[in-house]
A and B are shown apart, each in its own frame.
Chain A
Amino acid sequence: MSILSIENLHANVGETEILRGINLKIEPGEVHAVMGPNGSGKSTLSYVLAGRDGYSVTGGSVEFKDKDLLELEADERANEGVFLAFQYPVEVPGVTGMTFLREAYNSRLRYEGRDEADAMEFLKLVRSKAKDLNMSDDMLKRPVNVGFSGGEKKRNEILQMAVLEPKLAILDETDSGLDIDALKLVADGVNALRTSERSMLIITHYQRLLDYIEPDHVHVLAHGQIQRSGGKELALELEANGYAEFFDGKV
């Protein structure tokens, strides 16, 4: 059974149709990479999957673990195991990283009808995950994303993912803005989370990330549809040739 099954998905932002019939199936444990030119609808796809307000689905269906994903609210999708690492992580002034994570973690536990986490245990858990990503304790005491460098924000997203252990992780350009060492750390972090159950949808512009995180499938998204799918060699081809072949006069 697929973990995610997208069929003929159409979605609008405002009046404009951005997704024009997406088809995609992801099996448990698979890593799919989505590449495509700027403005082709990659982030839109991730928002539609995560249930962001203002993105209206006009056709098609999305099943997640046999559930109709489109019926669920954003927080329910998250608690069901959909995680989105944001292309542009959001600042939450006055709320420390630790508090934010604890709220998120406990929301999930409550959703599952379990007791909230013991504060000390949770602290230990977060610290050890942060250490793996070479993030200092100080970072967790600072308000979420406030004054973080671009790379720090991205690392923080991966930390949240590591703590929340989603079933489907969507990484939207997590590699942009990372220096080479950080890229490796993040990739290691992501690889450490690869299991036979957990699936990932990795949006990226650069083949380089895929050297570290080897995808099972690569897709090209352009003008709102998946134009081509292939193995990881497709990424190399795109790197060499660009997206010219997908622009036959359309945007």
Chain B
Amino acid sequence: MSIDANTAEQVKELEVDKYKYGFVTDIEMETAPKGLNEDIIRFISAKKEEPYWLLEWRLKAYRHWLTMEEPDWAKVGYDKIDYQDLHYYAAPKNIDRPKSLDEVDPELLKTYEKLGIPLKEQELLSGVVAVDAVFDSVSVATTYKAKLTEMGVIFCSISEAVREYPEIVEKYIGSVVPYSDNYFATLNSAVFTDGSFVYIPKGLRCPMELSTYFRINAENTGQFERTLIIADEGAYVSYLEGCTAPQRDENQLHAAVVELVALDNAEIKYSTVQNWYPGDENGKGGIYNFVTKRGACRGENSKISWTQVETGSAVTWKYPSCILQGDNSIGEFYSVAITNNAQQADTGTKMIHLGKNTRSTVISKGISAGRADNTYRGLVKIMPKAEGARNFTQCDSLLIGNKCGAHTVPYIESRNPSARVEHEATTSKISEDQMFYCMQRGLSSEAAVSLIVNGFCKEVMKELPMEFAVEAQKLIGISLEGSVG
């Protein structure tokens, strides 16, 4: 949510008058002034008419955050973020929209064209119009929603869930990613504005893929998005996050939290294709994406599977993880991370084996081009009670050109002698042989790179739901444009 000059002006005035009028009581105001303090958090909570326990939780997180240090161990470098220089709440009407597509970065529009995104949606994505203006298909979404509701599925914004289903939210929020977890998750707990909520009732296989795309008011979930997905006993759900088109967004910092809970015999499949603005060739203006995603396989025979294709952001710091608590539970992580130009990605996963015969699989494909840096950092931890636990990890890196880097940092901790942990890692380059072979068959150098890279990522791409996979394939080609001479 970026704020136009006019609003900023107003906010300045408010800040001056803050002590005179008492800011907290001024419920009429739509935008919180810049900065972070307890009053701002109370303001957000009040605006959202939250129950007292949630406000308390937010404040606890905030107080904890004040004692924390911003992590610097990840192999990413970025300009220091001034947390007092951000707005933590702004109502949608203050969004600084471009008035027409003429005002939108032509590079962005070119990408939309290549992806074959219809004009209406281009307008939506670039912020020219609001969600409801485009989705006459809002009615489509509503139809879906009605059907889902009939089956007992809850799929709504987290704010709505807090109002309508407070007992479920209270039971599960922070139960996978506690408010004190890490610097960015703690900040998120204090100030999150919106996100998605999903609950699948016992025994139900959710018959359609749930997607943020179909959530009404998906807009303005903002930079501190919070998602909570619960699959009750025997339930199944496949959830798609995001959109393959790069979204115009002026928030530099994104610190989302995603929590998944799978009870006995439940399965959650969570797929992400993430393509935020990576910035210009030097990374300027790109998004910093620091997200905490974690799933708890809480029940026996439960399963959580993360699949992600990451091509965006200037800086990515992201470790979707699984806590394998229930006996015989399964955790999977399939990832493609592409970095080009000045992008930096530090990603990986954590598989924590607690229960007996828990199994995890990690397939990570990192592609670096330009001057980009790509790091895989993975932790496999086998706890003493995880009798018979097994992990298989495969990390492959592909380098395009010779100015980029790939790093693999596996951590393995096994405290149970019956556990089996396997790790394989490879680093390769796109060979001149392969390029010539493809080009001799008529492919342009860019098409050749795209084909070879898609081949390299095959094992991960096949985990994506069909319609996502096709788009993701195109996206890989686009994100590597200009990576060969």
Chain A interface residues toward B at CB < 8 A = 50-54, 73-75, 77-79, 83-84, 86, 89-95, 99-100, 103-104, 107-108, 111, 143, 160, 164
CB distance from A175 to the nearest CB of B (A): 20
Chain A residues, Cβ within 8 Å of B439:
51, 73-75, 78
Whether A95 and B452, one on each chain, are in contact in the complex, defined by CB atoms closer than 8 angstroms, is: yes
Chain B residues, Cβ within 8 Å of A54:
432
A95–B452 Cα distance when bound, in Å, is 7
**Given A93-B455, A94-B458, A95-B455, A107 and B442 touching (CB < 8 A)?**
yes
Chain A residues, Cβ within 8 Å of B458:
93-95, 143
A-B pair count, CB < 8 Å, reads: 80
Whether A104 and B433, one on each chain, are in contact in the complex, defined by CB atoms closer than 8 angstroms, is: no
Whether B457 and A94, one on each chain, are in contact in the complex, defined by CB atoms closer than 8 angstroms, is: yes
Chain A residues, Cβ within 8 Å of B418:
none
A103–B436 Cα distance when bound, in Å, is 14
Seed contacts A86-B440, A164-B441; 14 additional CB < 8 Å A-B pairs: A53-B432, A53-B436, A74-B436, A74-B439, A75-B444, A78-B440, A93-B455, A94-B454, A95-B452, A103-B438, A103-B451, A107-B441, A160-B441, A164-B442
Interface centre among A75, A83, A92, A143 (most CB of B within 10 A): A75
Whether B444 and A92, one on each chain, are in contact in the complex, defined by CB atoms closer than 8 angstroms, is: no
Chain B residue at minimum C-beta to C-beta distance from A52: B436
Is B29 positioned at the interface, with any CB of A under 8 Å from its CB?
no
* Of A75, A79, A95, the contact of B445 (CB 8 Å cutoff): A75
Chain B residues, Cβ within 8 Å of A51:
439
Whether A75 and B442, one on each chain, are in contact in the complex, defined by CB atoms closer than 8 angstroms, is: yes
Whether A86 and B437, one on each chain, are in contact in the complex, defined by CB atoms closer than 8 angstroms, is: yes
Whether A75 and B443, one on each chain, are in contact in the complex, defined by CB atoms closer than 8 angstroms, is: yes
A55–B140 Cα distance when bound, in Å, is 58
A100–B441 Cα distance when bound, in Å, is 9
Chain B residue at minimum C-beta to C-beta distance from A75: B439
Chain B residues, Cβ within 8 Å of A92:
434, 437-438, 451-452, 455
Chain A residue at minimum C-beta to C-beta distance from B462: A94
* Of B436, B442, B457, the contact of A108 (CB 8 Å cutoff): B442
Chain B residues, Cβ within 8 Å of A83:
440
CB distance from A238 to the nearest CB of B (A): 29
* B391-432 Cβ-contact flags toward A at 8 Å (1 or 0): 000000000000000000000000000000000000000011
Q: 3 closest A-B pairs (Cβ-Cβ)? A: A94-B455, A94-B458, A107-B442
Chain A residue at minimum C-beta to C-beta distance from B453: A94
**Given A53-B432, A86-B437, A90-B437, A95 and B454 touching (CB < 8 A)?**
yes
CB distance from B126 to the nearest CB of A (A): 28
Whether A90 and B433, one on each chain, are in contact in the complex, defined by CB atoms closer than 8 angstroms, is: yes
CB distance from B179 to the nearest CB of A (A): 42
CB distance from A69 to the nearest CB of B (A): 13
Chain A residues, Cβ within 8 Å of B433:
90
Whether A79 and B456, one on each chain, are in contact in the complex, defined by CB atoms closer than 8 angstroms, is: no
Is B54 positioned at the interface, with any CB of A under 8 Å from its CB?
no
Is B253 positioned at the interface, with any CB of A under 8 Å from its CB?
no
Chain A residues, Cβ within 8 Å of B129:
none
Whether A93 and B456, one on each chain, are in contact in the complex, defined by CB atoms closer than 8 angstroms, is: yes
CB distance from B114 to the nearest CB of A (A): 14
Whether B456 and A84, one on each chain, are in contact in the complex, defined by CB atoms closer than 8 angstroms, is: no
A78–B436 Cα distance when bound, in Å, is 11
A93–B398 Cα distance when bound, in Å, is 12
CB distance from B164 to the nearest CB of A (A): 46
* Of A91, A93, A104, A143, the contact of B441 (CB 8 Å cutoff): A104
CB distance from B451 to the nearest CB of A (A): 6
Whether A104 and B436, one on each chain, are in contact in the complex, defined by CB atoms closer than 8 angstroms, is: no
A111–B431 Cα distance when bound, in Å, is 25
Whether A111 and B437, one on each chain, are in contact in the complex, defined by CB atoms closer than 8 angstroms, is: no
CB distance from B259 to the nearest CB of A (A): 33
Chain A residues, Cβ within 8 Å of B457:
94
Provide 26 A-B residue pairs closer than 8 Å at the C-beta atoms, listed in order of the A residue: A50-B436, A51-B439, A52-B436, A53-B436, A54-B432, A74-B439, A75-B439, A75-B440, A77-B440, A90-B436, A92-B434, A92-B455, A94-B454, A94-B458, A94-B459, A95-B452, A95-B454, A99-B451, A103-B438, A104-B442, A107-B441, A107-B444, A107-B447, A143-B458, A160-B441, A164-B442
